[in-house]
Chain A
Amino acid sequence: MTVLLGYLHEILQGLTTTLSLFLISLVIGFVAATIVAAFQIRFPGVLAGAVWSLMFCIRGVPLLLILYVVYYGFPLLPFIRETALWTVFASPYWCAIICLAFVEMAFTSEIIRGAYYQTPKEQVEAARSLGLSSFQTFRVAILPAMLRNGFPPYTTEVILLCKSTALAFTITVMDIMGYANEIRARTLDIYQPLLIAGAIYICTVVVTRLILSSLFNMIAVGGAETADQK
Chain B
Amino acid sequence: MTEGSPAPAIEISSMSKWFGPFQVLDDIDLKVMPGERIVVCGPSGSGKSTMIRCINGLEPFQKGRIAVHGQELIQKARTLDAVRKNVGMVFQQFNLFPHLTVLDNCTLAQRWVHKVPRAAAEKIAMAQLEKVRIPEQSRKYPSQLSGGQQQRVAIARSLCLRPKVMLFDEPTSSLDPEMVREVLDTMADLARDGMTIICVTHEMGFARGIADRIVFMDQGKVVEEAPPAEFFDKPREARTRKFLDQVVR
Q: Do the two shown chains form a genuine complex with each other?
A: yes
In the complex, the answer to whether B98 meets A221 with C-beta atoms within 8 Å is yes
Render A2-37 as a binary contact track against B, CB cut-off 8 A, 1 for contact. Answer: 000000000000000000000000000000000000
A220 sits at the interface (CB 8 A) = yes
Selected contact of B98 from candidates A125, A128, A131, A224, CB within 8 Å = A224
* Distance from A11 Cβ to chain B, minimum over Cβ atoms (Å): 42
Stretch from B87-95, B119-127, B227-235 at the A interface: B87-95
A47 to nearest B CB, angstroms?
A: 25
Query: A1 at interface (Cβ–Cβ under 8 A)?
Result: no
Q: Check A130/B93 contact, CB under 8 A, given A136-B112, A223-B99, A223-B100.
A: no
What DSSP secondary structure best describes chain A's contact surface? helix
Q: Report whether A129 and B99 are in contact in the complex, using a CB–CB cutoff of 8 Å.
A: no
- B157 contacts across to A, CB distance below 8 A: 130
- Beta-carbon nearest neighbor of B160 in chain A: A130
Residues of A in contact, count (CB < 8 Å): 24
Give the contact-size bracket for chain B: 20 to 34
Q: List residues of B (80-132) whose CB comes within 8 Å of A's CBs.
A: 81, 84-85, 87-89, 91, 93, 95-101, 108-109, 112-113
Query: In this assembly, does B79 line the interface, its C-beta being within 8 Å of a C-beta of chain A?
Result: no
Task: Pick the residue among B77, B84, B101, B144 that contacts A130 (CB under 8 A).
Answer: B84
A127, A128, A131: which has the most chain B beta carbons within 10 Å?
A131
Complex Cα–Cα for A132 and B100 (A): 16
User: A123 near B99 (CB under 8 angstroms)?
Assistant: no
C-beta contact mask, B218-229 vs A, less than 8 Å → 1, else 0? 000000000000
> In the complex, what residues of B have CB within 8 A of residue A131's CB?
81, 84-85, 109, 113, 161
In angstroms, Cα B56 to Cα A126, docked, is: 11
Query: Roughly how many angstroms separate A111 CA and B89 CA in the complex, as a whole number?
Result: 32
Is residue A140 contacting chain B, with contact meaning CB distance below 8 A?
yes
Q: Which residues of A contact B88 (CB under 8 A)?
A: 129
Whole-angstrom distance between the Cβ of B246 and the nearest chain A Cβ: 28
Contact, CB under 8 Å: B113 / A132: yes
Q: Which of A96-147 contact B (CB under 8 A)?
A: 122-123, 125-133, 136, 140-141, 144
Which positions in A face B, CB cutoff 8 Å? 122-123, 125-133, 136, 140-141, 144, 148, 220-224, 226-227, 230
A-B CB contact pairs (8 Å), 5 listed: A129-B56, A130-B113, A140-B97, A222-B99, A230-B143
